A and B are shown apart, each in its own frame.
Chain A
Amino acid sequence: MGRFHRHTDGTVHEHEHPDVRHDVGDHTGYRESGTVRVEVLENLLAENDRVAAANRLDLERAGVRCVNLMSSPGAGKTTLLRRTITALSGTLQLGVLEGDIATSLDADELASLGAPVSLVNTSAGFGGECHLDAVMVRSGLGRLALSDLDLLVVENVGNLVCPAEFDVGEDARAMVYAVTEGEEKPLKYPVMFRAADVIVVNKVDLLPHLDFRMDRFLGHLRDVNPHARVIHASARTGEGVDEWCAWLLHVHGTPTQRG
């Protein structure tokens, strides 16, 4: 099985077979004639990252800090945001970019609490509903008066896989994790747990009713991400919301006593 292959026209092309396992359709040593292999070597996220950089620049110029808020479906992002808007009113002008078409009700409610909301339709295209990418966020930014804002929170689509792969131009990444999700999640979804700067461990009000072993969860979390800050919270009772808001203020650059 040579690395080189002679074609009918006499040209020789190199077969590049790096030391990897072929998960699908192993084609080692096989190629039909009349085919040329073209090296591409392009990062699939290159285009996304270019647009993310443009978003970051626009936000920076407008003096807006941006937090990408991610979680599995229903972990409590919107509920936490509701509390956050109220808690920070008068301190920071918050804006919200919502990546979920099903939550126009949520959006109306967040807006009524005093935060401008930009809804981004993520349903276009196959599998397009599973995350926000930089291009979608860019379209959402266009509908916000950035100069009026201090901090923008992007509520990503509830999904533990795709959102972590896409930079949208944020300054920091936050993840809401609900204690109802089980202790093994960090090991099953390491990309997102590793990407997060802060993990809000939400729904702690339910702990008395669950056999959730917090130390086990925290151990798994430390294994994949030793640096993330952990905030125990309940968006229902309001516990931990102060600490979360202090972190947001820290991201914004506002000096606080608690930091």
Chain B
Amino acid sequence: MCQAIVDTVTAHASGRQVRRVTVRIGHLRQVVPDSLSFAWEVLTEGTELAGSELVVEHVPAVVECAACGERTTLDWPVLVCAACGAVDVRLVSGEEFQIASMDVAEEVP
């Protein structure tokens, strides 16, 4: 999982010094931020990404209800409307699994 982040970041960095990587992970993903940060340290050791920081942005699971139109946030992994209890809901967010951005050292002209 973490290797995918390393690979993608390395490709996008194209030689620039990376200071911080921000990943966006939906609530419905089972990624544990702490273990991801730990894996990041281990994986980047000795690479050009060594010393960079991995920031995990947690995206809440939000559903939109077809019955009442409400948008509600879920804690539980059960896809139901928190307003009216209907199960006919559309997932608005919560399945994200992406690299949002990276902070790289500015090139000195």
Residues of chain A having any CB pair with chain B under 8 Å: 7, 9, 16, 18, 20-25, 27, 31-32, 34-45, 47-48, 125-128, 161-162, 164-165, 187, 189-191, 194, 223-224, 226
Known contacts A42-B8, A162-B1, then 9 further A-B pairs from the complex at CB < 8 Å, ordered by chain A residue: A21-B60, A32-B19, A36-B103, A44-B8, A44-B97, A47-B8, A127-B3, A165-B29, A190-B28
Taken residue by residue from 60 to 99, chain B's Cβ proximity to chain A (1 for < 8 Å, 0 otherwise) reads as 1000000000000000111100000001000000000111
A42→B98 contact, CB < 8 A: yes
B106→A187 contact, CB < 8 A: no
Nearest-neighbor residue (CB-CB) of A26 within chain B: B55
Select one of B8, B76, B102 contacting A38, CB under 8 A: B102
List, in ascending order, chain A residues with CB within 8 A of B23's CB. Answer: 44
Residues of chain B having any CB pair with chain A under 8 Å: 1-5, 7-9, 12, 19-20, 23-24, 28-30, 33-34, 37, 39, 42-43, 53-60, 76-79, 87, 97-106
Nearest-neighbor residue (CB-CB) of A33 within chain B: B106
State how many angstroms separate the Cβ of A21 from the closest Cβ of chain B: 5
Looking at A9, A128, A165, which has the most chain B CB atoms within 10 Å of its CB? A165
List, in ascending order, chain A residues with CB within 8 A of B102's CB. Answer: 37-38, 40
Tell me, in angstroms, the Cα distance from A70 to B5 when the chains sit together.
Answer: 24
Tell me, in angstroms, the Cα distance from A20 to B102 when the chains sit together.
Answer: 17
A27→B105 contact, CB < 8 A: no
State how many angstroms separate the Cβ of A4 from the closest Cβ of chain B: 15
State how many angstroms separate the Cβ of A42 from the closest Cβ of chain B: 5
Tell me, in angstroms, the Cα distance from A119 to B37 when the chains sit together.
Answer: 31
State how many angstroms separate the Cβ of A99 from the closest Cβ of chain B: 16
Looking at B3, B30, B34, B97, which has the most chain A CB atoms within 10 Å of its CB? B30
List, in ascending order, chain A residues with CB within 8 A of B34's CB. Answer: 24
List, in ascending order, chain B residues with CB within 8 A of A34's CB. Answer: 105-106
B98→A44 contact, CB < 8 A: yes
Select one of A24, A25, A127 contacting B1, CB under 8 A: A127
Select one of A7, A25, A126, A191 contacting B2, CB under 8 A: A126
List, in ascending order, chain B residues with CB within 8 A of A24's CB. Answer: 33-34, 37, 54-56
List, in ascending order, chain B residues with CB within 8 A of A191's CB. Answer: 28-30, 77
Known A-B contacts A25-B55, A126-B43; the reply to A20 vs B33 at CB < 8 A is no
A9→B106 contact, CB < 8 A: yes
